[in-house]
Homo-oligomer: A and B are copies of this chain.
């Protein structure tokens, strides 16, 4: 029997082992024969390829492995997760209630908490240190009240809008999240499939479980369905150029550059749990190997991200993006929002990364209000999106009233993916239905009708700065070193 460490050292073209469904294979000789190319197998060299394997092959195929696909033996049982609750691991999920009993995002979350593996739950649900920003994200929405206008004809309502000029059935998109294959072997492909009907735009992560081309082709195809790319810039800039070229050729329509995660946050729940089975992103190639600090997935898979990235790199990003619109994701101050406008990007996502990076960083809703106070003119030069804590149709409507073009929904779609493409589609219907109800109750029939007068933001207004500078202008730091 083998251990994960045994497998991990065989990770190059001349000595390549992989793990599929708890069995270890030496596939070195098979590599040149693989119909799909050696590259895709090598992206799992030394790691677990179960999810990727199952997503494109029938499960009987390995009963008689092809020549050069040599079974070495089973993985040691002690290396398997103690209670395997992940559908990707062939386990009966008797605990999952029928999809039609799920009536809100919190239901999806509650089911995920008790049916996915502890490590998947830790990775998805965790946030930075004391979870204050994560909680503030929700609380910020709860503290905004409506000012509903009544006695208007609301027989028909229309939730359609455009994001960067691309049509969508709803004013929310699927925020990029890494390694969706951890909750469902079909991962991003199932998301693409489930998002198609309502034309929900999906932003594909640089750390996706599946290759971009597979994701796009699982949906309605690049002509019928819009996908964007989320980009982590690689310290090897050449790889980023290649990724962007590939994304464009696959039909992706815009690039969301993450600017707040050049270093990963300290997500303690995730760090405390070791990685059960190393996983590898089919797009970035990053693998999750535990290190002495712990098992923090985001940290382990983000080591390639370029920490030198700065405003002066914007022209280079534009040059390698091949004309695709550029959006900066992770803006947290009006000052940076204004800089983004000056640097000529097409949009910004106000975000604190779901509270996952820097604890007590501001909820996106605060930053949105700060822009109103400091530089409202930028609403005319770029599109503004927000994410973090969106769980209700009321949240979406509030963001739109306050100037957001659309909002990103992250974790809820991960939890919905626990039910596959159907779960994704069901979540979209839930949010759309809640949004329509909210629109009707506020007297708005289409999204051109939103405006700040429909919300009361008094409770949080006083908590938002109204200038670039802090009011403590009298004191200036002396150099200390």
Binding site for B on A (CB under 8 A): 100-101, 103-104, 129-130, 132, 142, 144-155, 158, 160-162, 259-260, 262-263, 265-266, 268, 271-272, 292, 294, 307-311, 313, 328, 330-333, 335-336, 339, 357-362, 366, 369, 372, 376-377, 379-380, 392, 394, 402-403, 405, 434, 437-438, 440-442, 446-453, 455-459, 461-465, 468-472, 474-481
CB-contact partner of A145 in B266, B271, B361, B457, under 8 A? B361
Contacts A362-B456, A438-B358 given; does A150 touch B472 at CB 8 Å: no
CB neighbours of A476 from chain B (8 A): 451
Query: With contacts A146-B360, A148-B358 known, what are 11 further pairs, Cβ within 8 A?
Result: A103-B268, A147-B333, A150-B332, A162-B481, A263-B437, A263-B440, A369-B472, A402-B472, A448-B478, A450-B477, A453-B469
Contacts A155-B308, A446-B481 given; does A146 touch B358 at CB 8 Å: yes
**18 pairs across A/B with beta carbons < 8 Å?**
A104-B129, A129-B394, A144-B360, A146-B360, A147-B362, A150-B330, A154-B307, A158-B481, A262-B440, A266-B434, A358-B438, A372-B472, A376-B472, A446-B481, A447-B480, A450-B477, A459-B463, A462-B462
Interface centre among A104, A145, A311, A437 (most CB of B within 10 A): A145
A263 to B148, CA, bound (A): 13
A464 touches B472 (CB 8 A): no
CB neighbours of A360 from chain B (8 A): 142, 144-146, 394
CB neighbours of A438 from chain B (8 A): 358
B376 touches A148 (CB 8 A): no
A481 touches B161 (CB 8 A): yes
Identical chains bound together, number: 4
CB-contact partner of A311 in B151, B357, B379, under 8 A? B151
A148 touches B328 (CB 8 A): no
A313 to B266, CA, bound (A): 48
A158 to B149, CA, bound (A): 38
**Chain A: interface secondary structure?**
loop
CB neighbours of A132 from chain B (8 A): 142
CB neighbours of A469 from chain B (8 A): 452-453
A156 — nearest CB in chain B belongs to which residue? B307
B475 touches A379 (CB 8 A): yes
A384 to B440, CA, bound (A): 24
A361 touches B146 (CB 8 A): yes
CB-contact partner of A336 in B149, B402, B478, under 8 A? B149
B480 touches A453 (CB 8 A): no
B480 touches A394 (CB 8 A): no
CB neighbours of A478 from chain B (8 A): 379-380, 448
B130 touches A477 (CB 8 A): no
A380 to B477, CA, bound (A): 9
Interface centre among A265, A457, A477 (most CB of B within 10 A): A477
CB-contact partner of A268 in B104, B151, B440, B471, under 8 A? B104
CB neighbours of A339 from chain B (8 A): 151
A376 to B475, CA, bound (A): 6
